[in-house]
Amino acid sequence: MNIPSLPPLTDLFALFGVNLVLCAALLRLLQASMGWPWAKWLAVGLFVLLWMPAGSAHLPLVAYVRGITSDFSVTLVLLATIGILQRWTGRVVFGAREKHAAYAVLAVGAVALYPLAMGWGDHDPYRAGWGSAALWTLLLALTVASWIRGLRLLPLLVAAGLLSWSAGMMESTNLFDYLLDPWIAVGALAVSVRRLAGFVLRSDGMRSGRRGDPGAGKIQ
């Protein structure tokens, strides 16, 4: 009897990551509209369903999804895992300040990396992901600065990416693929732009209120 062999560890890691991200997205979408119990069990059902074999190759459904989405970064998988844990336990693991700081850094990294990596300039920073003292120094400085300011999520994301890269958990050997992917880049940019727009609108509203108050600035 032929016993089917397990896929390589890199494939298992990628498939598990895709499954977790999809389940986290489902929880986020359904929790507000259907309530927690329904959303929880639907997410569990989706997690199990995606491991079911399908097609002539008898690959799990999540493998076909992976063919569309490609591999997710360790950063995105870890953020999805944190989101699942927070919703499942009801405990806030990392507050809004931590998440906004992480999204801001990811957004800046995406803007600095992807346009140049696609040939929009003479320098390609993506090459630094195969080994660069400058990149290591930048990540170290970012981690230390975040830790000093009381931020723990960003150092955790950097550490997880570095450890996974050192262990060769993904097919890619480029560190940037562990830290960033197009999906988390778009999400981080959307969150950061929305937050920046809200800040600008609030600032404009405060200035308009002061101009409309005839007593503003007068000594009582």
% of the chain residues with pLDDT over 90: 63
Q: Are residues 35 and 101 in the same domain?
A: no
Helix (H, G, I), strand (E, B) or coil at 53: strand
Residue bearing tokens 């507000």? 32
- Would you say residue 50 lies in a domain? yes
pLDDT in tens, 169-187: 999 999 999 999 999 999 9
Q: Which band of pLDDT confidence, cut at 50, 70 and 90, is reported for residue 106?
A: very high
Rank 5-9, 34-38, 65-69 by mean pLDDT and report only the highest: 65-69
Q: Are residues 61 and 120 in the same domain?
A: no
Q: Are residues 63 and 116 in the same domain?
A: no
The model's pTM: 0.86
Q: Which domain holds residue 138?
A: 94-206
Q: Are residues 56 and 99 in the same domain?
A: no
- Would you say residue 89 lies in a domain? no
Query: Average pLDDT of the chain?
Result: 88
pLDDT in tens, 68-90: 999 999 999 999 999 999 888 88
Q: Which two tokens stand for residue 206?
A: 């405060």
- Would you say residue 152 lies in a domain? yes
- Would you say residue 179 lies in a domain? yes
| Residues 151, 94 contacting (CB under 8 angstroms) | no
Average pLDDT over every residue of 45-51: 95
Res 160: pLDDT? 97
Q: Are residues 102 and 195 in the same domain?
A: yes
Res 205: pLDDT? 63
Res 220: pLDDT? 42
Alpha-carbon distances of 161 from 42, 56, 79, 179, rounded to whole Å: 30, 35, 12, 6
- Would you say residue 211 lies in a domain? no
- Would you say residue 56 lies in a domain? yes
Q: Are residues 64 and 102 in the same domain?
A: no
Q: Are residues 153 and 192 in the same domain?
A: yes
Q: Are residues 65 and 100 in the same domain?
A: no
> CA-based Rg of the chain, rounded to a whole angstrom?
21
Pairwise pLDDT comparison (41 vs 162), residue with the higher score: 162
Q: Report the length, in residues, of the chain.
A: 220
- Would you say residue 84 lies in a domain? no
Res 204: pLDDT? 63
Kindly give, in sequence order, each residue whose CB lies less than 8 Å from that of residue 132, ignoring residues fewer than 6 positions away.
Answer: none
Domain count, the chain: 2
- Would you say residue 214 lies in a domain? no
Q: Are residues 63 and 120 in the same domain?
A: no
Pairwise pLDDT comparison (213 vs 150), residue with the higher score: 150
Q: Are residues 107 and 196 in the same domain?
A: yes
Q: Are residues 35 and 108 in the same domain?
A: no
Q: Which band of pLDDT confidence, cut at 50, 70 and 90, is reported for residue 156?
A: very high
Q: Which band of pLDDT confidence, cut at 50, 70 and 90, is reported for residue 164?
A: very high
Res 37: pLDDT? 77
Pairwise pLDDT comparison (1 vs 215), residue with the higher score: 215
Q: Are residues 202 and 102 in the same domain?
A: yes
